[in-house]
């Protein structure tokens, strides 16, 4: 009897969705994938839109890209294995967002993936067709241009929508009476909007620091508000670090040390909330920081033909898109080889408990050695080679440079040796 051809829905055409398509098509099994994306082209979050809250079709803008964004990872950590992202003519290993999008489009063309992608398509609902553990799934979607609604049935679903589309905005006393502009970093686009203004930025992770430095040439004063240790780097003279925000008034901010400063605008650089509005809570539960129940952060424990690729944070996304999607495809190739639901749930519980004991958040891999331990475990499970050791060294170097030279580290050009065992910095 011939093998049944399985139809697979891939939700999202960013790098996670595209890597998933490549791995589905390279499997020895027979899959017919359909990738749904509400953007006008492939690229996901890297598809820049100068609009902020709604696009030309009245849909919420999903991209958080801003005009002048330069990557905070160098090119060796911004490529999918098997498709190099090198350019000897580049002066720096850190790319402008346009260069990243160009790489994604070249990846798409090289593997002939575009024909599997339906753009301008908004997935409204994904529903189980039965109570079985491995059900078929009905995907309901509509064309955002003409509102034409359709449904299709699939044997499996792989969700690749990432985690940077639903902003987290903390509840701050008095923010409702503040007279200045209040935005989330997702809706930041250009620094000129803050010319001659006093701005408070809440949050000092990558986006908070990057936006502070980006608007410094235009703004009059910037208060970088956070509860972390003071930054090691030298910052522009008009950036002052302050503790977290206690409350806002009509025209000022009061920090946790009870100092008060007049400000014109407030920017939340406070991250995102996990959200999958097209799935019901009895299928997957998503909170601000955690998605459950997922075996190896990929496989739905209750329904193992439903997968999630791209929920991890603080990782090299292009590399991990390949590894995580490979895990999903290997599982889909042989669903019968999975541990029992009870065993997988016990593994999930142990993983989260271990992370809690170490002080790690559920899906964040900040510690360099832990990231590569996890990547090695995933690669072993998927039957592929783990990343070369040099990538661990490059990421450690990058973390150090960001901490200590935040205004200049993107000028570096990194060259990896031909045998992938070492690297050197050329400038």
pLDDT tens per residue, the chain (427 residues)? 457 899 999 999 999 999 999 999 999 999 999 999 999 999 999 999 999 988 889 888 889 999 999 999 999 999 999 999 988 788 999 999 999 999 999 999 999 999 999 999 999 999 999 999 999 999 999 999 999 999 999 999 999 998 888 999 999 999 999 999 999 999 999 999 999 999 999 999 999 999 999 999 999 999 999 999 999 999 999 999 999 999 999 999 999 999 999 999 999 999 999 999 999 999 999 998 899 999 999 999 999 999 999 999 989 999 999 999 999 999 999 998 999 999 999 999 999 999 888 888 888 877 888 899 999 999 999 999 999 999 999 999 999 999 999 999 999 999 999 999 999 999 8
Same-domain pairing of 193 and 263:
yes
Q: Given 268, 298, 322, which residue is the final one in a domain?
A: 268
Same-domain pairing of 125 and 231:
no
What total number of domains does the chain contain? 2
Same-domain pairing of 282 and 361:
yes
Q: What are phi and psi of 40, to 5 degrees?
A: -85, -10
pTM as predicted: 0.96
- What confidence score (pLDDT) does residue 1 get? 44
Same-domain pairing of 262 and 370:
no
- The answer to the question of residue 56 being in a domain is yes
Which distant-in-sequence residues (6+ apart) come within 8 Å of 123 by Cβ? Answer: 11, 36, 38, 139, 140, 141, 278
Give the residue from 261, 265, 289 showing the smallest Cα distance to 275: 289
- The answer to the question of residue 174 being in a domain is no
Using DSSP's 3-state secondary structure scheme, residue 299 falls into: strand
Q: Cα(8)–Cα(36) distance, rounded to whole angstroms?
A: 11
- The answer to the question of residue 384 being in a domain is yes
Kindly state the DSSP code that residue 185 receives in the 8-state scheme: G
Q: Cα(109)–Cα(132) distance, rounded to whole angstroms?
A: 38
Q: Which residues pair with 292 in a beta bridge?
A: 285
Contact between residue 122 and residue 38 where contact means Cβ atoms under 8 Å apart: yes
- The answer to the question of residue 383 being in a domain is yes
Same-domain pairing of 203 and 325:
no
Same-domain pairing of 110 and 31:
yes
Q: Cα(139)–Cα(120) distance, rounded to whole angstroms?
A: 15
- The answer to the question of residue 234 being in a domain is yes
Using DSSP's 3-state secondary structure scheme, residue 341 falls into: helix
Q: Given 268, 295, 321, which residue is the final one in a domain?
A: 268
- The answer to the question of residue 17 being in a domain is yes
- The answer to the question of residue 396 being in a domain is no
Q: Given 220, 239, 268, which residue is the final one in a domain?
A: 268
Q: Cα(367)–Cα(356) distance, rounded to whole angstroms?
A: 14
Q: Cα(103)–Cα(101) distance, rounded to whole angstroms?
A: 5
Same-domain pairing of 191 and 334:
no
- What confidence score (pLDDT) does residue 4 get? 86
Distances (CA, A) of 77 to 16, 109, 283, 327, 394: 15, 21, 33, 20, 8
Q: Cα(427)–Cα(412) distance, rounded to whole angstroms?
A: 6
Same-domain pairing of 193 and 158:
no
Same-domain pairing of 151 and 36:
yes
Same-domain pairing of 276 and 318:
yes
Same-domain pairing of 257 and 318:
no
Same-domain pairing of 337 and 192:
no
Q: Cα(356)–Cα(368) distance, rounded to whole angstroms?
A: 17
Domain CATH code at residue 56:
3.50.50.60
Which distant-in-sequence residues (6+ apart) come within 8 Å of 50 by Cβ? Answer: 67, 189
Using DSSP's 3-state secondary structure scheme, residue 411 falls into: helix
**Which structural domain, as residue segments, surrounds residue 251?**
184-268
């Amino acid at each position: 009897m011939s093998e049944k051809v399985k139809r697979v829905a891939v939700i999202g055409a960013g790098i996670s969705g595209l890597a998933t398509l490549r791995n589905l098509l390279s499997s020895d099994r027979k899959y017919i994938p359909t990738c749904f994306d509400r953007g006008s082209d492939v690229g996901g979050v890297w598809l820049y839109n100068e609009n902020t809250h709604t696009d030309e079709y009245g849909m919420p803008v999903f991209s958080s890209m801003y005009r002048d964004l330069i990557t905070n990872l160098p090119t060796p950590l911004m490529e999918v294995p098997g498709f190099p992202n090198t350019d000897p003519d580049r002066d720096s290993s850190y790319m402008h967002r346009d260069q990243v999008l160009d790489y994604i489009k070249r990846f798409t063309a090289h593997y002939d993936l575009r024909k599997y992608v339906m753009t301008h398509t908004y997935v409204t609902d994904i529903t189980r067709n039965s109570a079985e553990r491995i059900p078929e799934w009905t995907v309901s979607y509509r064309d955002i241009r003409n509102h034409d609604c359709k449904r299709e049935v699939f044997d499996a679903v792989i969700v690749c929508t990432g985690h940077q589309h639903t902003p987290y905005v903390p509840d701050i006393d008095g923010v409702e009476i503040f007279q200045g502009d209040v935005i989330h970093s997702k809706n930041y686009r250009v620094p000129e909007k803050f010319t001659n203004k006093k701005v408070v930025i809440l949050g000092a992770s990558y986006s908070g620091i990057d936006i502070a430095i980006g608007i410094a040439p235009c703004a009059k004063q910037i208060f970088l508000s956070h509860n972390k240790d003071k930054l090691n780097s030298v910052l522009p003279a008009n950036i002052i670090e302050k503790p977290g925000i206690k409350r806002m008034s009509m025209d000022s901010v009061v920090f946790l040390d009870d100092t008060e400063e007049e400000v014109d605008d407030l920017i939340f650089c406070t991250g995102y909330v996990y959200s999958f509005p097209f799935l019901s809570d009895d299928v997957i539960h998503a909170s601000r920081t955690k998605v459950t129940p997922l075996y190896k952060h990929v496989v739905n424990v209750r329904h193992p033909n439903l997968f999630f690729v791209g929920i991890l944070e603080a990782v090299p996304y292009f590399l991990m898109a390949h590894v995580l999607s490979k895990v999903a495809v290997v599982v889909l190739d042989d669903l019968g080889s999975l541990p029992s639901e009870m065993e997988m749930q016990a593994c999930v519980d142990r993983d989260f408990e271990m992370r809690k004991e170490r002080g790690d958040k559920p899906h964040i891999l900040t510690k360099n050695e832990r990231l590569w331990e996890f990547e090695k475990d995933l690669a072993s499970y998927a039957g592929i080679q783990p990343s070369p050791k040099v990538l661990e060294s490059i990421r450690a170097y990058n973390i150090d440079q960001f901490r200590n030279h935040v205004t200049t580290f993107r000028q570096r050009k990194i060259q990896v040796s031909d045998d992938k065992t070492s690297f050197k910095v050329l400038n």
